[in-house]
Structures are given as C-alpha cells and as structure tokens.
Chains A and B, each alone.
Chain A
Amino acid sequence: MGKRTMRGETAIIGVGETTYYKRGRSPDAEFKLVIEAILKASADAGIDPREIDGFASYSNDRNDPSRIAAALDIKDLRFSNMEWGGGGGGGSAACAHAAAAVATGLADTVVVFRGLAQGQFGRFGQGARVPHVRGDQAYTAPYGLMSPAQSFAMRVHRLFDDHGITQDTLKACSLASYHHAQNNPRAVMYGRPLSPEDYDASRWIVEPFHLFDCCQENDGGAAMIFVSADRAKDFAKTPVYFLGGAVGSGNRAGSGSHNATDYATSNFKTVAPRMYDMAEVKPEEVDVAQVYENFTGGVVMSIIEHGLTSYEEANDFITFENLTAPAGKMPINTSGGNLAECYMHGLELNIEAVRQVRGESCNQVPDVNVSLVASGPMVTPVSDMIVGSEAVL
C-alpha cells in the first residue's frame, strides 16, 4: 500500500464572504449570512448551489447543514460534518474534512462554512454570567481566569521566559495585520491604520496582550467550495489545489487546570510536520502564510512551530518588514487577518490563502505557489493546511 495522502486530490473552486461587520452590527440573521456566503462562493465558482452535496464546519457552528440543504433545495445531502473543539482551531480541519470527503467519494461538492452573528447570540470575550461553575472551569473562573485572552496569556509569558522572545514580536504581528487591512476595503479596520506608537500606548487587556494583540469580534459569513481535482478546471476560476492538512495537538493538551505536558506552545509541534509531510512541502518553500491571530503571542508560536523561523532567530525574524507584503521574507495575514479584516473565526484566512494563489489578494505576494494557513493556535485541537497552484502538483 502506498502512502496515504490527499495531496492534489481536490481543489477549491469558489470562495464567498458577506460584508464583514463589527460584532452585533449585522442587519441579517446568522443563518442568512451563511446562505449568502454559500451563494457567493457558488457564483464565484460558476456552479449551481443545488449541486452542493456536503458541508463541513467547526466550533459548534449553529447553522445545521440539514437546514441549509433544505433552504437551498439541495438535491442529495451526502456529508454533514463538524470538527469538535472551540475557537478557530478547526478552520483548516474543516477544509481537510471537505477534501477527505471528496477524495474518498463520500461526496462530490463540499462547502466549508462559518457564520457568526454575535448580536443574535453571545460574545466570546466575556466571562460567563452564571452563579456556579463546575468541572474544569471551577479551577479557573473563580480566580478571574475566564476569557480566551486570560486563558492564553500565561502561555506567552512562559514562552518569553523559556526562549528570551520579546514583546516586539507580538507588536510586529499586530502592525502587519493592520497595515494589510489598509489596502482591503472589505476589512473592518480599513481606514484605521495602527502606528507603533498607537500600539505602545494602547491599554493592556491582560499582560502581555495589549488591546491590539487581541482579535476583533465580528459578524459575517464565509464559505469555500471543494471538488475533485478531476473536474476542478470545469469552473469559472483557476483552481487552487489542496496539498495537505493536519489536525490535532500534543500530549494531554486538553488536560484540566493548565496541565498540558508542553505548555508554551501553539499546539502545532506535532501537527505541522504531518501537514508538511502530506503536502510534500518544506517550510522554506512557503510563499505566504495566514496565521490565525486570536492573540499575537499565538502567531509567534505558530510561525516558529511551522519552521518559518526558530526560537533563536525569532526576535530578529518576526519584524514588521519581514511580515508584510509584497517584499517581506514571510508575509502573513495579507488581508488584515482576525485583527483587522474580520474575526470570521479564521475562515477569512483560508479564503485569503486561496486568493494569494489565484493572484487576487489586495496585498498580493508575487508568484505564490505555496500558501499556508495555521488555524487557532493554543486551543485544542488546532489545524493547518497548505494550498497551491497547479505548478506544484
């Protein structure tokens, strides 16, 4: 039996996004946002949305594929999939599941989607308003450790202490995202540039995170359509091939009371090598990277754990100049990312990775053939993927 792989078996033929809103500002219901994104992705691909026969999402998305299938008069539902785990760690996992379903014949045309309307539903960044907490929360919430930022800040201090990495790396990630958003009219932070002085002066949320180290919270919908590579050229846009993906986390990452065996990690140490192996790509061959910013400390860890730099060189490598398109050594988050385009739970990053291969980015890196996404650092499970052009098949 040969190597089991999905490399080049499937391609992304269409992507779609709604207008991105500040949290609570969507005039539309969350379900309507999802439908709009799927219809836009279908139009982008030039495919009848009734031909979609599978759905993949993550983070307990509230929009049930059976309802979507009924709403869109889908002829034959064949795949309905959810990646467990909170946060955006499942974004690239959902893409990998879509690719796997198509590659193995479970379904033919699978859409990956995510919808969020936080006016309609609750917010991420606040502590639960409940009188009692039980289970793992009981070990943290009564001590005022309740929000995602608070859950991850201690990992970053430990990273600083273990490796001598500095706050300047976090700042560079933040400035890069805001810089890229200034060329992206879709970005919520379009027209709102961030200077190094603004960053330094911004209030602490929880040390070591300033306000601008933290993602936004937003409303919107996003969708991507996967088909078999055999028919990928039958549609309107140049296909972007799925080269590799991986999901998971290291030993006891989900243990209670912050007892993960390896603490100061984005959880990509075991995941990234599997993704590179499937994609048959080396870190030095990556042309551009979309690295999920829940908090910039996780971006720094993800860059290192994907081999794009090392712990020793991180302070010198992770700079505004190196992280920005078109000429930086490793441009990241070229649409503005979770910090400055939209916190579409990271799916906007997977879409931007496709745009970079198509040559359609608003901050285009020249000659992109290998485009990486790292989803949801520090949560468990995390996931990542590489997509590429026909030239690398």
Chain B
Amino acid sequence: MANPPRYYLGEGMPAPAPAIDGLDTEYWEGLKRHKLFVQHCHTCDRPQFGPEWVCHICHSFDLGWREVEGNGRIFSWERVWHPVHPALQDSCPYLVVLVELPNHENVRMVGNLLGDPMQTVQIGAEVRPVFEDHDGDDPYTLVHWEVVE
C-alpha cells in the first residue's frame, strides 16, 4: 500500500526561504522550533505582520519578534481546483485560509486548512496552528491550521 502523503500539498512546491536582507529570519527559524512568531515593535508595543523594517504605527526601527499563542479565526478562505504548478497536479481541491489572530490585533496569515478539502468553511471559525516539517537539504516548516471542534 502506498504511503500516505507526507505533506498537505504535493512535493516539489516552491520552498520558503528567509529574505535576503534578513528581515524575517527569526520567523522562519521559529517555525522550525514549532513556535509562531509575529514581528513586534519595542517602542509602541504593537504587533506587525507581514514584517517590515519600520513599524508602520510609530515609525520606530526598534523591532523584534515575539512568540504568539496560535489561537486564530478564519477571516476568509478559498478552495483551489485548478493546479497552477506541477507539484499541485494531484493536490486539488485544496483549501487556503486567511487566519486572523484576535489576541494580536487581528494580524493575518495565510495557510492551508487541514481536513476534508470539501468541508464547509465558516468565516469566523476558531482554528489552531499545526506545524508541518519539510526535510531535505534546506529544511523548513510551514504552519497550517485546523478547526477547533
């Protein structure tokens, strides 16, 4: 019997790598340790995502990363049927969700929603993170989401 798929999507997808300029190295290193980090401003004490070199609220350059607990809420979703990459040929349909973090000023992140790809997706549903480790020469970790029953 064939082994179950190792990942939510097919193998051979483009792998995430930290930005060349070092902007988000901590984020990707954190995921490898199964910790979800969001950029945080040391001056105004506010979160920011996606990351940037300056705080968009107070324009401070004094930014760092803070681990967040992963309680999330589905902000929107899509079900993908047409594969736009060879690695997705056997992965459709699949679910992409935009998750907001209500405890962190509703910053949003994109991920896949685990489980039946034909499930009814409710905007506002509570979700929690699930870390997916990819091995190989350049290992990395993705963060997916599953509905909290």
Contacts and interface: CB of A to CB of B under 8 A. Distances in A.
B94 A263 contact: no
Contacts of B75: 158, 263
A105 interface: no
A206 interface: yes
Interface in A121-176: 125-147, 149-150, 153-155, 157-158, 161
A132 B110 contact: no
B15 interface: yes
A133 B16 contact: yes
Contacts of B77: 154, 157
B81 A150 contact: no
A203 B82 contact: yes
Contact of A142 (B13, B23, B52, B86): B13
Contacts of A204: 79, 81-82, 93
B110 A139 contact: yes
Contacts of A128: 14
A139 B112 CA distance: 11
Given A134-B19, A203-B82, A141 B14 contact: yes
B78 A206 contact: yes
A255 B9 CA distance: 26
A263 B14 contact: no
A222 B49 CA distance: 39
B30 interface: no
B64 interface: no
B80 A144 contact: yes
B107 interface: yes
A134 B49 CA distance: 15
Given A140-B110, A145-B110, A157-B76, A256 B14 contact: no
Contacts of A140: 110
A154 B80 CA distance: 11
A144 B14 CA distance: 9
A244 B18 CA distance: 43
A277 B79 CA distance: 40
Nearest to A205: B82
B40 interface: no
Given A144-B9, A259-B108, A138 B76 contact: no
A207 interface: yes
10 contacts: A127-B85, A132-B15, A143-B142, A144-B112, A146-B14, A146-B85, A154-B78, A203-B82, A204-B93, A257-B108
Interface of A: 125-147, 149-150, 153-155, 157-158, 161, 203-208, 252, 255-259, 263-264
Given A139-B110, A144-B85, 6 more contacts: A129-B86, A131-B14, A133-B16, A134-B17, A144-B112, A145-B96
